[in-house]
Chains A and B, each alone.
Chain A
Amino acid sequence: MTMRARKARDLRPAALGLGALACALAAQEIVIRLGLVNRFIVPLPSEIGPAFVRIIVEEDVLGRFLMTAGEALAAGLLLALVGITSGIVLYRVNLLRRAYETWIAAFASAPIVLMYPLFLVIFGRNAMTIVMMGFAAALPPVILKTIEGLSATRRVHVNVGRAFKLTQRQLFTKILLPSALPTIFVGLRLGLIFALINIVGVEFLINFGGLGQLINDLAERYDLPGTYAAIGFVVLVSIVFFDVTERIERWLRPGS
């Protein structure tokens, strides 16, 4: 296969994804123009496009994007630190695991976002509340996936480590952790999605901060194209985090 043909092949997934998005937008445009969907509820994609440029110029989107991304980053770092550490502790201490794993799984389905008044009382109306809400809502998948990843380490890999007389610490850092990394990263990515949903939701609810507040403002002004464009920037934050975590995973655990 020539270099050019290989490059073209590598671009196919991206082209397919973008093509599907373009088709969906075209379909949306058609059904709205045909009157099958009310254009006062769902705006025309052809109106959303120019709204991107408008809100960048008029609504300080870059600042808001950075604020939401910063909050998501802070929540993500907390998640990695607390979530992975908690998962490791629960994996190591069977009693704790048996005592708490079910509770954590149950906590994952709790509508944490409804607890925002409590967080407001504790942390005040500031970014800390938003970060802590994102963190709390996203913690369970990170803990559960860390436990799952460590537990799924192949017995033969542990035996190889034992045969080479690895210490418990070496066994953990050289075998258990690298083996569990893909599953841990699944948990982190899930956690970041949960965190971002809650961060934007709380920004919206308390009318503070980044893109969530912007969505609230634009919705209250009934600027539907602007609202959808702002939601597009939330998706962009998610894409950035997904891409970054994937790169970190590949760097930490090549060959997978």
Chain B
Amino acid sequence: MLSRTEIAKPQVTKAFLSVERLTKRFTTPEGVVTALEDVSLEIPQGEFLAVIGPSGCGKSTLFNVIGGLVDGYDGKVTVTGDVVRGPHPAIGMVFQEESTFPWRTVVDNVAFPLEIAGIAKRERIERARHFIALVGLSGFERRYPAELSGGMRQRVAIARTLAFEPSILLMDEPFASLDEQTRLLLGEKVLQIQEQLRQTTLLITHNITEAVQLADRILVMTYRPGRVKRVVDIALPRPRTSDVVTSEAFGRYVAEIWNDLREEATRGMQEDEARARGGQGT
């Protein structure tokens, strides 16, 4: 079994992420929409930051900008001072949609980034098995995604991103399509992995309990245009398990964040309804 130090890329191990005064506008048939406005954040190495906000607050835009998949914005994204101008080698991305390759087995999916890096087959299979074990899918290496459940497929996607050995892990609502129980258990798995690998992690989510369960800090965003409304430090003890959701402190954090979010979510809902009514009228 390979240890983290054996497989790490030395040039990126001290990476931390910084977003400075980020503004992103989209041109739509209805006019220019400001998705993000003046968003700044900093994530120290090893921290788990969750970004939470109502639908339409620009969370996924933030994910795509940090991941280097979107350009044409004001502001700056840096990883240890290195400006992000496209997909960055220190950043690994886990997407909201099911993203495993159906034509590859579990082990070939996970070994994919290693194959791209030109690593010899035997070595990449060995490394892939390590990450498959890490997400708790040992024994399923030769299965195809179609033979797995949604939660298992998302774990394959996480293992594939981990095999890329990023210093920063970006996750865009990775458990959105899963049921609540699977979501809690997968959250626990993510916590275990983060404890082990000490990766800097940014989780985009709209789920308050998920954010409180996993994060060290939670950044609450406003409804469109997405701005930073508030940052909440989560002082729950680590290592955490899914049992943390039963604690009194957990409930207090959830209530506190919901108070912040309720106003934004209500505003989002009212604006969506107004837009729909306006659209009907035209």
Please give the residue numbers on chain A whose beta carbons come within 8 Å of chain B beta carbons, in ascending order: 154, 156-157, 159-160, 162-166, 170, 174-175, 178-179, 181, 253-256
Contact A165 B89 (CB under 8 A): yes
Q: Which residues in chain B, 53-112, are within 8 Å of chain A measured between CB atoms?
A: 67-69, 87, 89, 91-93, 95, 97-99, 101-105, 112
**Distance, CA A254 to CA B96, complexed state (A):** 25
**Distance, CA A164 to CA B98, complexed state (A):** 16
Contact A156 B116 (CB under 8 A): no
Q: Whole-angstrom distance from the CB of B93 to the nearest CB of chain A?
A: 4
Provide the residues of chain B in CB contact with A175, threshold 8 Å.
101
- Given the known interface contacts A164-B113, A164-B164, A166-B116, the answer about A156 and B103 at a Cβ–Cβ threshold of 8 Å is no
Task: Choose one: A159, A162, A165, A253; the contact of B103 (CB below 8 Å).
Answer: A253
Q: Whole-angstrom distance from the CB of B137 to the nearest CB of chain A?
A: 16
Contact A254 B144 (CB under 8 A): yes
Please list 23 pairs of residues, one from A and one from B, whose beta carbons are closer than 8 Å in the complex, sorted by A's number. A154-B97, A156-B95, A156-B98, A159-B93, A160-B99, A160-B160, A163-B92, A163-B93, A163-B161, A164-B113, A165-B116, A166-B116, A170-B116, A175-B101, A178-B101, A178-B103, A179-B103, A254-B103, A254-B144, A255-B105, A255-B144, A256-B102, A256-B103
Contact B103 A255 (CB under 8 A): yes
Q: Is B145 an interface residue (CB 8 A)?
A: yes
- Given the known interface contacts A165-B89, A178-B103, the answer about A159 and B95 at a Cβ–Cβ threshold of 8 Å is yes
Q: Whole-angstrom distance from the CB of B144 to the nearest CB of chain A?
A: 4
Please name 16 further chain A to chain B contacts, defined as beta carbons within 8 Å, in addition to the given A181-B103, A254-B103, A255-B104, sorted by A numbering.
Answer: A154-B99, A157-B99, A157-B101, A159-B93, A160-B160, A163-B93, A163-B161, A164-B112, A164-B113, A164-B164, A166-B116, A170-B116, A179-B101, A253-B103, A255-B102, A255-B105
Q: Whole-angstrom distance from the CB of A179 to the nearest CB of chain B?
A: 8
Q: How many A-B residue pairs have CB under 8 A?
A: 61
Q: Is B235 an interface residue (CB 8 A)?
A: no
Q: Whole-angstrom distance from the CB of A161 to the nearest CB of chain B?
A: 9
Provide the residues of chain B in CB contact with A163, threshold 8 Å.
67-69, 87, 91-93, 161
**Distance, CA A157 to CA B100, complexed state (A):** 8
Across the A-B interface, give the 8 residue pairs with the lowest CB-CB distance, nearest first: A255-B144, A163-B93, A156-B97, A156-B99, A253-B103, A178-B103, A164-B113, A165-B87
Nearest B residue to A181 via CB reads B103
